[in-house]
Amino acid sequence: MAERKSRSRPSLSIVPRPWHVGIPLLRPCAILAIAVFDNFAAIGCVYGRAAAETMRRELTERAREFVGEAGAAYWVEARLIVEMSRGESPRGGGEVAAARLASRLVRALTGEGFEVGEAKVFAMVTIVAAPIDAGGPGGASRATAVDELVRRLVAAAPRLSCTAPDALSRGRYRTQMDWAALAADCIRENGLVLTWRPVGGLDGGILYREAEVGLVDARGAQWPAADLRAALEETGLVRAIDTHAFGLTLDRLHAEPDAILGCNISAASAIVDGWWAPQFDRLVRDRDVASRMIVEIDETVAFSSISLAVEFVDRLRGAGCRIAIDHFGVGHASLRHVLALAPDIIKIDPLYLRLAATRPQGQGAAFAPLVGLARSIARHVVVEGVDDAAALAIAQASGADWLQGHHFGMPAPRLSRAAAMAGLGDTIVRSSTVRRSALSGRLQVFACLFVGAVLAVGMIWGAPLP
């Protein structure tokens, strides 16, 4: 019984033995990548063990197709090992080559979903990679590198909530996966829409504009990405949308040489891994763009690892970006964690402004001291939720320098379906294929409405139906 249970749920904990002993490298390799199938247990619980095992085999085949004859791919316990016997030699050496390998590999493994019955299911994969000593077997440097990779992988793997075996929990997970599949389809079809919310001062100046991400599917229907964030975080797929939105924000900075823009990412995405390698490359290549990028980290979910989050922030800051902590005061990060990240900007969660307006002698009394605490940590403090004149007066009295909300500046209006799919306004231009799909979808809707109207008239007048 115990043995069957251990097989059904891959362990992500570090076992007390050297991991290089359990990874028999098949050949001298220049780069080694180790991956973990993060949502394997959840998929097995919800869609069945057979579906999870089929996805695992398909991931292996994708990895082997990716490396070709230049490497090997195989499983050791719950980890997929990918060897590359030949690596690139870009400027920056083996570490750069390893980062690029991890980036290409994560997209090769997760770019397409898996058909499970009538559902499309996506595997969440965390990958770390490093150059490995290509000397003979048993080399001390190689063994140390392998052990360090596994330690990083265990720390970087997202803390996904376990799915209970009851029908309600399984149904909830299926719904979340459906939303995640919708987001993945929108990303693949260039269906991400960016609108911009200003962060401004009492004197009318603008500190920066924050990107709000929306999704537009092939039918032209739109959803704010914030509405799907919980599903993306719980299925482990939030890094896919965060890195894509980050790239679109960089595109906008290239197009507007004087713009200062912000992009919000989940704390679960704040990890240096294969998902982020292309974006780090872009930041390093263009320091001017990096200096005008503000990365907002939303702490409403826990960091996978605060040490890896600090490394992530250091990489961004080293490239020239500024760091903001979003929803300060209500998130999972402790004050010690915030101090370790040393943000340039702290954004006070709107909850405290609302409490200050409705309960000034009770819980709301904490608002002004919280602003003062934030001012002692970061150079700039932003009060969120300034939606009317009363809120503006309270924020001004607290000593905050910067404000965000409907009273100060509304985000760009949501586009109509036709305008969004036509690539108008503050959006990324969509492909002609998606526009044709949207037109087809609208024609189908009109046809259904027309048939419904005919049937309704027939029922009212008692006319025989054709």
Give the per-residue pLDDT at 141: 64
Measured in degrees and rounded to the nearest 5, phi and psi for residue 53 equal -65, -35
All CATH 3.20.20.450 domain ranges of the chain, comma separated, are 169-421
Give the per-residue pLDDT at 86: 53
CA angle 347, 352, 356 (to 5 degrees): 135
Q: CA 138, CA 288: separation in Å to the nearest integer?
A: 45
All CATH 3.30.70.270 domain ranges of the chain, comma separated, are 2-156
Do residues 94 and 30 lie in contact, with contact meaning Cβ atoms separated by under 8 Å?
yes
User: Which tokens hold the place of 371?
Assistant: 């602003």
Q: Is 459 exposed, middle or buried (0-12, 13-18, 19+ CB in 10 A)?
A: exposed
Alpha helix ranges (H) inside 127-224: 140-156, 167-188
Q: CA 88, CA 108: separation in Å to the nearest integer?
A: 18
From the list 156, 154, 102, 176, the residue with the least C-alpha distance to 303 is: 156
Q: CA 346, CA 326: separation in Å to the nearest integer?
A: 6
367 by DSSP, 3-state: which?
Answer: helix
256 by DSSP, 3-state: which?
Answer: coil
Q: Please report, in tens digits, the pLDDT of each residue of the chain (466 residues total).
A: 444 333 333 333 333 334 444 455 544 557 888 888 888 888 988 999 999 999 999 999 999 999 888 788 988 877 888 887 654 444 445 777 788 888 889 889 988 889 998 889 988 888 888 887 654 444 446 677 777 787 777 777 666 655 567 788 888 889 889 888 888 888 888 888 888 999 999 888 999 999 988 888 778 778 777 777 888 888 878 888 899 999 999 999 999 999 999 999 999 899 888 889 889 999 999 999 999 999 999 987 888 888 889 999 999 999 999 999 999 988 777 888 999 999 999 999 999 999 988 887 776 788 999 999 999 999 999 999 999 889 999 998 888 889 999 886 655 544 443 444 344 334 332 222 223 333 333 444 444 455 455 444 444 454 443 3
pTM more than 0.85: no
Q: How many residues does the chain have?
A: 466
13 by DSSP, 3-state: which?
Answer: coil
Superfamily of domain 169-421: EAL domain (3.20.20.450)
**Regarding the domain delimited by 2-156, which CATH topology (the fold level of the hierarchy) does it fall under?**
Alpha-Beta Plaits (3.30.70)
Q: CA 201, CA 330: separation in Å to the nearest integer?
A: 24
CA angle 374, 404, 299 (to 5 degrees): 50
